[in-house]
Amino acid sequence: MAKVGVYVCHCGSNIAGVVDVAAVREYAETLPDVVVSREYLFMCSDPGQELIRKDIKDGLVDRVVVAACTPRTHEPIFRKALESAGLNKYFFEMANIRDQDSWVHGDDHAGATRKAKQLVASAVAKAANLEALEDTYVDVTQAAMVVGGGVAGIFAALDLANMGHKVYLVEKEPSIGGVMAQLDKTFPTNDCSACILTPIMVEVGTHPNIEMLTYAEVEDVDGYIGNFKVKVRKKQTYVDWTKCTGCGACAEACPAKVPDSFNCGMNDRGAAYIHFPQAVPKKAVVDMKHCLNCAGHKIGQEPRISKKTGEPMLAPCEKACAADAINRSLPWNPEGELIEIEVGTVVLATGYRVMEKEHFKEYAPDSPNVLTALQMERLISATGPTGGKLLRPSDGKKPKVLDFISCVGSRDIRHHTYCSRVCCMYMIKQARLLMEKYPDLEIYMHFIDVRTPGKDFDEYYTHAAEMGIHFIKGKPGGIEMLPDDRLRVLGYDSAMGENIEVDADLVILATAIELPEDAQKLAQKFSMTMDGSGFFKELHPKLKPVDTPIEGVFLAGCCQGPKDIPDTVAQAKAAAASAAIPLAQKRVKIEPILSEVYPEKCSGCGICVPLCPYNAISLKPYADRPRAVIDMTQCKGCGVCASACPSGAIILHGYTDDQIYSQIAALTQSA
């Protein structure tokens, strides 16, 4: 006979404010197998856990039910309490009477109390049928992968590498650097982005523990914490990187014209190009989609022979390459190279993109003088399309009046409801830099609210106002195009309570930060869950900010939500520290909530094999015929096989038929 102890938690007023906790406790006392029932303000606190430990040690109980919050965060805590009192920790069951009861039935106290009783009865019924289970351990592959080579990925990789771990840094572009490499200067200290980032990029490039896989993308992921197998596709560069010196001669020679994504499409690059001048690694790639096949020399073919000279006719990029790194006659495989990498942990740092202006029809997206703020960064950057000179795109003349619009696509139910967090500050930064460089400019900035919550941020903002930058509280609802290519911004000044207009040479839209589509695809490969804003969801917003529902996979940077550089670096270092824990522990625990086949009952029908979403089941010979076997390291305990098995040969430990039927029986009896 099991001796079940029931412990009902008030959770402060979270539960007790709705559910009649005393009534639930009293009801629990009446349930079969229950020997003691208690209540406490916070069961998860030390005095709360002590109630459980004491009852176990006193021999009073040998099965524990806690009616409290969610097992997602608190089950491990209570299991530890059982373990420390000498009881098998799987003799524990939790009834979630907070998230699934008091929080959702706040307007029906009686109903919520009734539901709490039923949930407790169900947990007690299961507890009586629990079996003792043992954890197992597997070794951890001593390497980590960081996906994304922006500032988040760079710092995560560096910290892991400096701890002595082997790190694979995967980046889809030819160079690491990310969006930060595109920025001119950074708030609130106005230090140059390139000056602070490029030395660190070099450090990554030369670190003995870091293997950079740039121009590469994750194709597939398999495995589990400690033993991930990641397939990475190294895209075809059509340049022999072992020979390429990054001199850039091929890029200069290439006659193709492709909008330069690094400069946000404001100028053209060649089909042969180097990502940007400070690229790491500084290697050329040929973008074959836009290659013109000069001199009729297609990839993989022998060059044509000139009738005049009798010499082979080479493409300009080939001719220009002194290192012989471009040889178009070689049979390049367009698919690139697929490699499989084994790692123990993964940090996802895939970054963000800013929305393009085309989404905002009311803001004259067809005008070349309407820019996104990232385009503005390139326009004022010394490495940008104008060499850092502020010129109006429509005519190349110096503008006199600039107008900035904030919350373009952010805080907007038509696009994204969240605040992109960095726009206010980078707009003010751009305005300040421009005012310092061109004091005769008139700069107007429209905000719904100015949000400057970071360290030294508000001082940065108020100084901008003192510099003569005009701050207007009110979101413009439209832009009219004037005949001379200027733009009339239709605004409203909430402080004055009046309509206002600005006739601007340039309009800069602070477009929202969002997760790019390729990151959404990556999310599926890693089985990430997404939050309401479309970013990767952390396991707990406060207590597990870099963890994910997939153990061993961690998050850093803007893929988890918009943030500035200081926050990104802090999160990257946190993710690196978390990702290092399993590597340092060298082995990870596998919980025994797994499926197991009783080979004697198995008919070998094989129904379970294709059903398993984790490819954990195979048929292996046993006695007279092949029967199902489950690989414990692959099984995630989902239970699909157990529910499908026609012979009842598969058991999911922790969720056996007996346990579940007893729960159903308890739930269907009215409390």
Partner 1 sequence: MEKCGLYLGCNIPFKAPDIEQSLRQVFPPLGVEVVDLPGASCCPAWGTAPSFDIDTWLALSARNIALAEKQGVDVMTGCNSCFGVLSEAKHVIDASAAKKDVVNEKLATIDSAYAGSSKIYHIGHILHEKIGTEKIKKNLRYSLDGLTAAVQPGCHLLWPTKSMEVTEENPFFPTMLSDLCGALGLRAPTYSNIEACCGMGAMRSTDQEKSFILAKEKLVRMKEELNPDMIVTTCSSCYLQLDGAQKIFRDRGEIDFEIPVFYYTQLLALCMGADPAEVACISDTPRAAIIAEIQSEQRRMK
Partner 2 sequence: MPTVNLTQMNTHEIIQKVVEFGGDGVVKCIQCGACASICPVSHAGFPLFCKQLIRKVQTGYEEEILDDPSTWACVACNRCVEVCPRGVNPTEVIFAFRRIQANELAISTSSLMSQSNLYEKGHAVLSGESKKLRVKVGLPENPPTSVNDEKAQKEIQTLLDNSPMADLGIF
List residues near partner 2 by CB under 8 A: 362, 407, 411-414, 448, 473-478, 490-494, 497, 499-500
494 binds, among partner 2, partner 1, none (CB under 5 to 8 A by kind): partner 2
Strand partners, 211: 168
d(CA 519, CA 148): 10
CA angle 305, 311, 315 (to 5 degrees): 70
Contact 507, 363 (CB under 8 A): yes
Pairing mode, strands 268-269 and 143-147: unpaired
**Interface mask (CB under 8 A) for partner 1, residues 471-500, using x and -?**
-------x-xxxx----x------------
476 binds, among partner 2, partner 1, none (CB under 5 to 8 A by kind): partner 2
Q: Residue 501 Cβ, how far from partner 2 at the closest point, in Å?
A: 9
Size of the site for partner 1 (CB under 8 A): 11
The residue among 491 and 654 lying less far from partner 1, judged by its C-beta, is: 491
Q: Residue 490 Cβ, how far from partner 1 at the closest point, in Å?
A: 9
The residue among 192 and 490 lying less far from partner 2, judged by its C-beta, is: 490
Q: Which segments within 276-381 are labelled E, that is strand? A: 284-286, 337-343, 345-348, 353-354, 370-372
Q: What is the 3-state secondary structure (H, E, C) of 64-101?
A: EEEEECCHHHHHHHHHHHHHHCCCCCCCEEEEECHHHH
The residue among 411 and 421 lying less far from partner 2, judged by its C-beta, is: 411
The residue among 366 and 624 lying less far from partner 1, judged by its C-beta, is: 366
Which of 127, 49, 117 minimizes the C-alpha distance to 90? 127
Q: Residue 414 Cβ, how far from partner 2 at the closest point, in Å?
A: 7
The residue among 71 and 491 lying less far from partner 2, judged by its C-beta, is: 491
The residue among 29 and 501 lying less far from partner 1, judged by its C-beta, is: 501
d(CA 443, CA 472): 11
Among the candidate windows 8-16, 24-32, 364-372, 547-555, which touches partner 1 by CB under 8 A? 364-372
Q: Residue 409 Cβ, how far from partner 2 at the closest point, in Å?
A: 9
Out of 46, 107, 366, 624, the residue judged to bind partner 1 by CB under 8 A:
366
251 binds, among partner 1, partner 2, none (CB under 5 to 8 A by kind): none
Which of 202, 196, 161 minimizes the C-alpha distance to 181? 196
- DSSP annotation of 102 reads I
Classify residue 621 by burial, with Cβ atoms within 10 Å: 0-12, 13-18, 19+: exposed
483 binds, among partner 2, partner 1, none (CB under 5 to 8 A by kind): partner 1
Out of 194, 317, 364, 424, the residue judged to bind partner 1 by CB under 8 A:
364
Strand partners, 617: 630
The residue among 47 and 477 lying less far from partner 1, judged by its C-beta, is: 477
Residues near 524 by beta carbon (within 8 Å), at least 6 away in sequence = none
Where is 146: in which H helix or E strand? strand 143-147
539 binds, among partner 2, partner 1, none (CB under 5 to 8 A by kind): none
The residue among 288 and 490 lying less far from partner 1, judged by its C-beta, is: 490
Contact 165, 582 (CB under 8 A): no
492 binds, among partner 1, partner 2, none (CB under 5 to 8 A by kind): partner 2
Q: Residue 532 Cβ, how far from partner 2 at the closest point, in Å?
A: 16
Contact 90, 132 (CB under 8 A): yes
Q: Residue numbers of the site for partner 1 (CB under 8 A)?
A: 361-362, 364-366, 478, 480-483, 488
